[in-house]
Structure 1
Amino acid sequence: MTVIKNAELTAGNSFTQNQALGLLTELVPVSLNNINGREIQTTSAKKLHAYLGVGRDFSNWIKGRIEEYGFIYEQDYINFDSPNLANQSTESVQIKQWKTKRGGDRRSKDYCISLGMAKELAMVERNEQGRAVRRYFIQCEERLQHIAPQDVRKLRDQLKARITAANDFKPMCAALELARAEQGKLTQAHHYTSESNMIARLVLGGLTAKRWATGNGISGDPRNSMSADQLKHLSYLEQSNITLIELGWDYHQRKTELTRLSQRHLAKQLEVAND
């Protein structure tokens, strides 16, 4: 695979940055893929590694970056067998495809990574290739926003709702722990689970988040695959539950009130949808 040298991207060179960005569409193609139920723009980590001209071998490089920067499986990336057969041995000879020492084909593992992860990987290489590929990924995002603005707004809405829901869950757990401590009770893991399941059932049609994910073939954190409306509903109930816990309401009282609030929330959402 061709790698554009640093000198080719400098100002005044006949090989312009626009030409480099155009070539990137072939070297590091971007496509829409499904990661854990989310349709997002992705690229091949192996092709990105080759373009960036990284000195380390691919396997150690990608594993090291994932560990160093805390990228999350099925959120930032997934694994798959690369369609390109890689030479796994110095004794191999390339004829029409790479062969292992034993004579069989061996596919090397690749990673399907989100554009956010790809941009960060490009930035940390701190070379001209990295800066060029980051600009390219930004252009891809802008192009998608121009072509499919509704899809982009939907993704951003889901991300915003996901962050809000994450910010509400911990305070709810903290409020529950404090309320029980004031009563001289120890809070254990199952207490948090019961609280979470109570709210999830109101949002997910009577199912816990775990059962809902299993029924929909979803792996990983179920919240990552919930719609923006589901996450907003969840967040609303978690915020309400914090207030009820602080007021000293017991579990059954809170469940009754949260059920009423949930129904009111859904009714309002239906009114908005029908307007």
Structure 2
Amino acid sequence: MTQKKLTALTGSAQTQPKTSLNHIGDQDFANIVPVIATQISGRDNNVVSAKALHSALDIGRDFSTWFADRVEEYGFVRGVDYFTDDDMTAAWLMNDQYSPVSGKNKGRGRPQKDYFPNIATAKELAMVERNEQGRAVRRYFIRCEEELSRSAPEIAAQLRQQLRARITAANLYKPMCAALDAARAEQGKETQGHHYSTESNMIAKMALGGLTAKQWAQIHGVKGEPRDSMNADQLEHLAYLESTNITLIEMGMDYHKRKAELLRLSQRWLAKRVGGAK
């Protein structure tokens, strides 16, 4: 795992001990809630310290209780919306000894457990506080996102492509299941849960190198919904196969014939994609 400070957004690496968080709107948020560029499970992420955010928002509640309540209330997912000490090294907080929240030496004892929301989650956490600090911090995170988009336009474009592909794949799964339901009903057969999973696994194996989505997630250390961590090519491949499978189901092909045809079309799709990349 590699971790580095996102210096374009975070400014200097020193906190200012005299900073009053009661007047956070006038302060340099880059010193108080630094945004860190890091890799977790092989994926680039920009995260912040929830402890630093809690302090900046001037919340009058215990940190652990506040964060746990927000996770439950808004349905934040570990490994997607935020990470824990188990997911990444907490030493990114400036260095192994220094805390940007308090400015105090942390060399003694085990540091308090922290959480690491991504920028989108941090922005939402700031927004729901409904106070001046929250509005100011939210504006800061919006500027961070804008700066990230300007400084790395190719990454921003990749993320937009991944989002479009994710939405397309999501929109096709239910129609595929509905087509399977209808086809089996015409044959007087009831559709069970394992029939859906069989279709899903068949398609996933073609797009993920012979692995089901669950197997792929386990190998890559992915938590939560596997498709949320797939890249645009994988998602577009899945969407193509799901769309094609709907057509084949509606044509009345049985499972084995559909599998053979989908495999042929999958290989053709991959060959075109590789050829187009040259």
| TM-score interval (norm. to shorter) | 0.7 to 0.9
- How big is each residue's C-alpha offset from its partner over 1:49-74, in whole Å with a ceiling of 9 and x where there is no partner? 11001111111111111111111111
1:24 aligns with 2:41: no
**1:115 aligns with one of 98, 114, 119:** 119
Alignment coverage as a number of residue pairs: 248
Aligned partners of 2:222, 2:75: CA distance in 1, in Å? 22
Q: TM-score, structure 2 length as denominator?
A: 0.81
SS state at 1:108 partner: coil
Extract structure 1 runs of 4+ deviating beyond 4 A. Answer: 81-85, 95-99
Please report the TM-score for the alignment, with normalisation by the length of structure 1: 0.82
Helix, strand or coil at the partner of 1:207: coil
CA distance in 2, matches of 1:205, 1:213: 13
Corresponding residue for residue 4 of structure 1: 21
**Equivalent position of 1:153 in the other structure:** 157
C-alpha contact (below 8 Å) 2:36/2:46 kept by paired residues: yes
State the distance in 1 between where 2:203 and 2:256 align: 12
Distance 1:246 1:161 in 2: 24
Instruction: For residue 37 of structure 1, report the CA deviation from its aligned partner.
Output: 4.1
| Larger Rg over CA atoms | 1
Matched, 1:176 2:180: yes
2:251 corresponds, among 247, 264, 267, to: 247
Distance in 2 (CA, whole Å) between partners of 1:238 and 1:248 is: 15
Does residue 269 (structure 1) correspond to residue 237 (structure 2)? The answer is: no
Contact 1:165 1:232 (C-alpha < 8 Å) held by counterparts: yes
8 Å Cα contact 2:176-2:246 kept in structure 1: yes
Matching of residue 135 in structure 1 with residue 139 in structure 2: yes
Q: Is the 8 A contact 1:203 1:233 kept in 2?
A: yes
Q: Which blocks of at least 5 consecutive residues in structure 1 are unaligned?
A: 10-14, 86-94, 100-104
1:170–1:177 CA distance, 2 compared to 1 (3 A): same
* CA displacement at 1:34 relative to structure 2: 3.0
Q: Work out the CA distance in 2 between the residues paired with 1:210 and 1:112.
A: 25
RMSD across aligned C-alpha pairs, in angstroms?
2.4
Give the equivalent residue in structure 2 for 1:72.
Answer: 77
d(CA) in 1 for partners of 2:20, 2:157 = 35
Residue 29 of structure 1 and its aligned partner are, at CA, apart by: 0.4
How many angstroms apart in 2 are the aligned matches of 1:205 and 1:123? 41
Output the CA distance in 2 between the equivalents of 1:35 and 1:76: 12
- Report the alpha carbon displacement of residue 192 of structure 1 after superposing the two structures with TM: 1.2
In structure 2, stretches of 5+ residues that fail to align are: 1-16, 97-103
Asked if the contact 2:78–2:223 (Cα under 8 Å) also holds between the matched residues in 1, the reply is no
Indicate if the aligned counterparts of 1:3 and 1:51 stay in contact, CA closer than 8 A: no
